[in-house]
Amino acid sequence: MPAPDAFPTRYGPWALVAGAAVGLGAEYARQLAARGLAVAMIDRDAGALEATAAEIRAGGGAVRTLALDLARPDLGDAVRAATADLEIGLLVYNAAIGTVSPFLEVPTAGMQAMLDVNCRGPLLLAHALLPAMVARRRGGIVLMSSMAADFGSAQLAVYAATKAFDLVLAEALWAELREHGVDVLAVQPGSTRTPGWQASQPPELRGPGPHVMEPPDVVREALAALGVEPTVVPGEANRQGAQMLATLPRRDAIALMSRITATLLPTARTVA
């Protein structure tokens, strides 16, 4: 990772955070602003977006909000037009839809929405913003994947497959773009205490706990890995868990993961 004072030079002056109203996206916006970047924040929840933006402004940060749906068909053009006057040096694609449900109970429209927000969105925004970064020979892209990307698991079939897409996309871009001066990182969090994660948990398990990370710690580790590694699993316990799973035959790893994910609360829209 570049030294903290080099961060705006390497990735500034503007960062774009997609899915920035709450949870990990809001925390990316806070930490990037604290490190000297101006932040363009996208979310469909205009009220929560403005509340987080106001908090960052009150702390002295420069932000612009864009209330839009990341599933819209013309996403790349819309974001390009709304940010044409900004020099964007960092894209953090954070938003995801993470339906927890047996596969056959996921409506077709729900599957399409997951593909749009989790896969098509990062493709379109990377494609829209990368040419200027490559021309400047500096910049960065952070794509949010998940520990769920490594193995299929019950109730997360579509979500986990979209997160595998994000992981492989980021790794490929890391390989292609490093010679152009652009750093790419896939982040694979485990359970992290955000509104989306809390919705997948029974009420008594929604508080802080030994098996759940807090968003500031996840984002700190992610930003520390940008420019150093192609992927990061935040949290020592999560890294040990991922390493243990990787030693198992795949059928055993899938069964073990599925015993855990089968206990998640089925819900129409959560992020796991």
Residues belonging to the active site: 159, 163
How far, in Å, CA of 213 to CA of 69, rounded? 28
43 binds ligand NAP per the rule CB under 6 A: yes
Draw the binding track, 100-119, toward ligand NAP (x: CB under 6 A; -: no contact). Answer: -----------------x--
153 binds ligand NAP per the rule CB under 6 A: no
Question: Looking at 92-100, 103-111, 223-231, 251-259, which segment touches ligand NAP (CB under 6 A)?
Answer: 92-100
22 binds ligand NAP per the rule CB under 6 A: yes
23-34 and 46-58 helices, crossing angle to 10°: 20
The half-sphere exposure of 214 on its side-chain side, counting CA atoms within 13 A, is: 5
Residue 110 or 181: which CB sits closer to ligand NAP? 110
44 binds ligand NAP per the rule CB under 6 A: yes
Strands ordered across the beta sheet of 14-18:
63-67, 38-43, 14-18, 88-93, 139-144, 182-187, 231-232
Residue given tokens 């020099």 in the structure block: 87
Question: Looking at 56-64, 95-103, 128-136, 257-265, which segment touches ligand NAP (CB under 6 A)?
Answer: 95-103
CA-nearest of 197, 193, 242, 246 to 218 is 193
How far, in Å, CA of 148 to CA of 236, rounded? 17
Those residues whose C-beta lies under 8 Å from the C-beta of residue 204, and which sit 6 or more positions away, are: none
69 binds ligand NAP per the rule CB under 6 A: yes
Which amino acid is it at 105?
E
155 binds ligand NAP per the rule CB under 6 A: no
Draw the binding track, 205-244, toward ligand NAP (x: CB under 6 A; -: no contact). Answer: ----------------------------------------
Which residues are near ligand NAP by CB under 6 A? 19, 21-25, 43-45, 69-71, 94-98, 117, 144, 146, 163, 189, 191-192, 194-197, 271-272
